Amino acid sequence: MIIVTGANGQLGRAVVERLLSHVPAERVGVSVRNPEKAGELSDRGVRVRQGDFADPAGLAHSFEGASQVLIVSADAVGGAAVGMHRAAIEAAGAAGAHRVLYTSHMGASPSSLFAPMPDHAATEAALRDSGIGWTSLRNGFYATSALMTLGDAVRTGELAAPQDGPVSWTAHADLAEAAARILAADNGPDGPTAPLTATEALDFAEIAEIASDLTGRPIKRVVVTDEEYRAGLIGHGLPEALADLLIGMFAASRQGEFERVDPALGQLIGRPPTPFRDVLKAALTTAG
Ligand SMILES: NC(=O)c1ccc[n+]([C@@H]2O[C@H](COP(=O)([O-])OP(=O)(O)OC[C@H]3O[C@@H](n4cnc5c(N)ncnc54)[C@H](OP(=O)(O)O)[C@@H]3O)[C@@H](O)[C@H]2O)c1
């Protein structure tokens, strides 16, 4: 059985949806913190069990009978994140899984300026030490993260953010399709994949141009200092730790940590990855 964690989240749910077009539902199980939210999957024949990385004993039940486990990285940082991922890897091994897939990041590195990247690197080290077959999906930076930074710039006509560098913003749907295909084929490559990215890297000046073009309204890119941006975020109620994390994203992008583009994602999904422009267009349409 293929077990997917985080299946009530955006990426995990999309992986399950894609997986169900490749394999029968009875071969798919989800390990979720809140099974009630996965009722629709249960109705379609997917095994839904409660599992929380913070409760390793419970994972024995939700991973029972696993042949492969996709561990969707938790939305946490630091030792807490790595500890939970380690617990999930151990539980997958104990359940008899022959392969763990893990949603890492193209920028995974112990020396990154963006806090989640050393966590991904540490989790990859834990996978390497686990003795289980493992595939680390080095996912490109989510295009949705750029949409969040864009915020209400379309309404205000101003995209004020620190100096950045180009990022190969990548669609959730494409990353989900890649993970689903690897799981369905049961042929995950060993170790970290190539960066799974869209085909172009864009900075926020270029994103402002695309948004202007799509909306017909001028959007000006304004560069503010890291300190000004941080103060603005905290002024809007963001916890300091989260503000620092976001500043780290800009600092890392200035260093070119997320600028690589690679054909691997397109090869895995058998079509060109979704351009950022299309992700933005869809978001603008949904927002009305
Ligand atoms: N590549 C990138 O650029 C990028 C950007 C941002 C984040 N990420 C990483 O990618 C992950 C998936 O992205 P997403 O868009 O699907 O995020 P999401 O919608 O926030 O989903 C995160 C999932 O992690 C689950 N989770 C959190 N803590 C857990 C725990 N203790 N035990 C088990 N599951 C736990 C959540 O469970 P519940 O549904 O129960 O809350 C949720 O399903 C994120 O969690 C983050 O680690 C990557």
d(C-alpha 46, C-alpha 16), whole Å: 9
Q: Give the position of tokens 């730790």.
A: 241
Which of 13, 18, 50, 72 is the best mutation target for the ligand 1 pocket, counting ligand atoms within 8 Å of the beta carbon and taking the most? 72
Question: Closest Cα partner for 202 from 250, 255, 259, 145?
Answer: 259
Judged by DSSP in three states, 221 sits in strand
Q: Which amino acid is at 100?
A: V
Stretch 35-42: mean pLDDT: 98
Residue nearest to atom 22 of ligand 1 (CA): 9
Residue nearest to atom 27 of ligand 1 (CA): 74
Question: Closest Cα partner for 258 from 121, 119, 117, 141?
Answer: 141
Stretch 158-162: mean pLDDT: 97
Q: What is the pLDDT of residue 288?
A: 73
Q: What is the pLDDT of residue 287?
A: 81
Stretch 67-94: mean pLDDT: 97
Quote the ligand 1 centre to 11 CA distance (angstroms). Answer: 8
Ligand 1 within 6 A of 84 CB? yes
Q: Who contacts 246 (Cβ-Cβ below 8 Å, separation ≥6)?
A: 229, 233, 238
d(C-alpha 120, C-alpha 108), whole Å: 5
Q: Who contacts 231 (Cβ-Cβ below 8 Å, separation ≥6)?
A: none
Residue nearest to atom 31 of ligand 1 (CA): 53
| pLDDT-derived band at 3, boundaries 50, 70, 90 | very high
Question: Closest Cα partner for 274 from 264, 263, 266?
Answer: 266
Stretch 52-75: mean pLDDT: 97
Q: Which amino acid is at 237?
A: G
Burial class (CB in 10 A: 0-12, 13-18, 19+), 51: buried
Stretch 47-64: mean pLDDT: 97
Ligand 1 within 6 A of 52 CB? yes
Stretch 154-179: mean pLDDT: 97
For residue 175, how many other CB atoms are within 10 A of its CB? 26
19-28 per-position pLDDT tens digit: 999 999 999 9
Quote the ligand 1 centre to 162 CA distance (angstroms). Answer: 26
Ligand 1 within 6 A of 49 CB? no
Stretch 42-57: mean pLDDT: 97
Mean pLDDT across the chain: 97
Q: Is residue 51 within 8 Å of 33, Cβ to Cβ? A: yes
d(C-alpha 160, C-alpha 149), whole Å: 9
Strands (E), 54-152: 68-71, 99-105, 133-139
Quote the ligand 1 centre to 217 CA distance (angstroms). Answer: 34
- pTM exceeds 0.95: yes
Q: What is the pLDDT of residue 228?
A: 98
Ligand 1 within 6 A of 11 CB? yes
229-278 per-position pLDDT tens digit: 999 999 999 999 999 999 999 999 999 999 999 999 999 999 999 999 99
